[in-house]
Structure 1
Amino acid sequence: MQQSFSAAGLAGCWKLAPGRVLGVRPRTEGVLLITQGEAWVTLNERPRGHGNESGDHFLQAGQQLSVRAGRHLVIESMDRAPLQFEWTPAARWMPRSRWDEAVRQPLRDLHRAGWLAGSALLRLLLGLAGYSEYLVAGRGRTLSPHEVNPP
């Protein structure tokens, strides 16, 4: 039985039962990593020869295959055991640039800190406004026995 998915929601770990076939057309580049079992993976390439040269890839646990966006990928187990694999979009595999780490991230942190400081200041001012009658020296109101200092 064949299932077909767009790889947009495919990121993560998957298990494919023996005799099942999965067809995938990823929207972004990604890496297919076989975590358990043996896989027969076919890409929609034009045949150029035998084996891996024909678009067929035979992968064992620990092996991976980079797949470009828009390629049709067919995955099935080669043995009677379930096949487990991971699909990771390429964006997660790319290391962060030096600019991101040295400049962008500190700016984001400062932006968040500014929002936190601003909201804390606003809450403080609203709290003080709520206690304004207690902060004014009792003008126009009678103090309770707990508020009066004994002589």
Structure 2
Amino acid sequence: MTARSVAQLLQSAPATALPGTWKLVRGRAITLRPTNDGILRVAHGRVWATIEGPHGVTPSDSGDHVLEVGRSMYLHAGQSVVIEAWNQRGASYFAWDPVFVTQPVRPRVTATAVLQPMADLRAALALALRAAGQLATGLTRLAWDRLRGGQAGVSRCPDGALG
């Protein structure tokens, strides 16, 4: 909706207007030019809505629609519609509800995406090197002990049993 059309609607709406709606008196028409996709809803009365062309050949795609209480119409951004109160007497009330389309959010690729795995690999490599060093030390001691004729890691009790 343009700022001018909103201002005109607000000036014509009395304090008794339905909350969240705009009043459109009989015999008046207004053009809506939404900048976002949205839904035109009729809260009271009925309106005649004419969507700008091109139009199809079927009556439901003719561009002209009569919307009554509880009915709504989806409009795309930039698509204009002229609405007019279409009652025997009294005013119609309508609401315009924008529909915001969610955009998928791609995760930001940051240095953390590379630095964290690199730090994990560095820690894993340090642990692997330490374990390899301990294994080499243990194997060396075992081999040295065997060469000297002892049994590494096995001690004998005084009665000859292994303990």
When normalised by structure 1's length, the TM-score is 0.52
Task: Quote the residue 2:32 is aligned against.
Answer: 24
Identity between Structure 1 and Structure 2 (%): 33
1:82 correspondence with 2:91: yes
User: C-alpha separation between the residues in 1 aligned to 2:90 and 2:53?
Assistant: 27
Which is strand-richer, 1 or 2? 1
Cα offsets for 1:47-90 (capped at 9, x unmatched): 32354321111111000111000001100011122010010110
SS of 2:60 mapped into structure 1: helix
Change (3 A) 1:62 1:41: same
CA RMSD in angstroms, aligned pairs only: 2.6
Which protein has the larger Cα radius of gyration, Structure 1 or Structure 2?
2
Kindly report structure 1 stretches of 4+ aligned residues shifted beyond 3 Å.
Answer: none
Q: Which runs of 5+ in 2 are unaligned?
A: 7-19, 106-163
**TM-score, normalising length: structure 2:** 0.49
Contact 1:6 1:27 in 2 (8 A): no
Report if the CA contact (8 A) 1:35-1:86 is conserved. Answer: yes
Equivalent position SS for 1:71: coil
Q: 2:2 aligns with which of 6, 28, 31?
A: 6
| Aligned mate of 2:47, from 36, 39, 44 | 39
Whole-angstrom distance in 1 between the partners of 2:49 and 2:21: 16
Gaps of 5+ in 1: 100-151
